[in-house]
Amino acid sequence: MPDMAHGSTDLIVIGRFARLAGLSVGALRHYDELDILRPARIDPETGYRSYRLDQLESARTIVALRDLELPLESIRAYLGSDDPAARRRLLAEHRGRIEARTYRLQRVLHRLTQMTNEGAPPMSPALSTELDPATERAVAADLFNHVWTLLEIPDRSPEQDDAMVHAAHASRHHWGRVGDATNVAVGEWQCSRVYAVLGRAEPALHHARRSLEICEANGIGDFQRAAALEAMARASAVAGDASGAAAWKAKAVEALDGIGDRDDREIVENDIATLP
């Protein structure tokens, strides 16, 4: 006999549904109480909960999101939204929280490593706030990637705009400590892009100019220089300087010939194609 609820061939009793979903019966009852996943039917006499087969997708999504440590309130909002952009925003916000926690843990790990290797007391007045170079490079790269995650959100909140600015500058700061001139030039370029996207012409121009200056002072060509020229064109357009934007765009197009890697060339070409 199939394990169905009270004669209905459309409903699955809670025990079997829990096994199929990879959840416990207690968790399903908890999600019902929190209005995250309601049963399709509750027997008025016995109180037994039953679920539809098509609710398995939502249940398995809950399992996946809980594995990612998404808060239950965010899971409720995720399941309750049919807007892919809204769902992406929820995940991006959680990613930001996880990254912040990761940075804190990296600092803790660094300090514990020092204490283990050097025997420094936990409350030493000479606690070092320095990150080791490998950790600092990882932080710089993670912040750089986080900025791109925020840039790709179609409808950012003011708080996300602020986070994007701060993350770009933090990434540039760390690259300035442990990176080479190329890393620094790219960091300046990203700061310029963030400000251009936000419509802030003066800092967009400043950081684009710094990126180009660093490239020229260090003999950096290839895609970094082309990207710096593209940034100058974009920032000029934001500033309302149409002729300047056109001139910088022409220089960026010309610089494409100096890019050796085909993939790098395609990335800069795509950026140029989005210029006004």
Domain ranges of the chain: 11-79, 82-157, 180-276
What is the structure's pLDDT at 83? 92
Tell me the CATH number for domain 180-276: 1.25.40
Is 6 a residue whose pLDDT tops 60? no
What is the structure's pLDDT at 192? 97
| Same fold flag, 11-79 and 180-276 | no
Sorting pLDDT into bands at 50, 70 and 90, what band is 123?
Answer: low
In this structure, the number of other CB atoms found within 10 A of the CB of residue 236 comes to 25
What is the structure's pLDDT at 108? 78
Is 51 a residue whose pLDDT tops 60? yes
Q: Domain 11-79 maps to which CATH number in 1.10.287.3510, 3.50.50.60, 1.10.1660.10, 3.40.930.10?
A: 1.10.1660.10
What is the structure's pLDDT at 104? 76
Give pTM, 2 decimals. Answer: 0.56
Distance CA 90, CA 160 (A): 12
Sorting pLDDT into bands at 50, 70 and 90, what band is 126?
Answer: very low
Distance CA 3, CA 39 (A): 16
Mind listing the pLDDT tens digit for each residue in 14-37? 999 999 999 999 999 999 999 999
Is 202 a residue whose pLDDT tops 70? yes
What's the rounded mean pLDDT across residues 129-141? 80
Contacts of 268 by beta carbon, 8 Å cutoff, 6+ apart: 223, 226, 227, 230, 252, 256, 259
Single out the residue of 155, 13, 187, 185 nearest to residue 84, CA to CA: 155
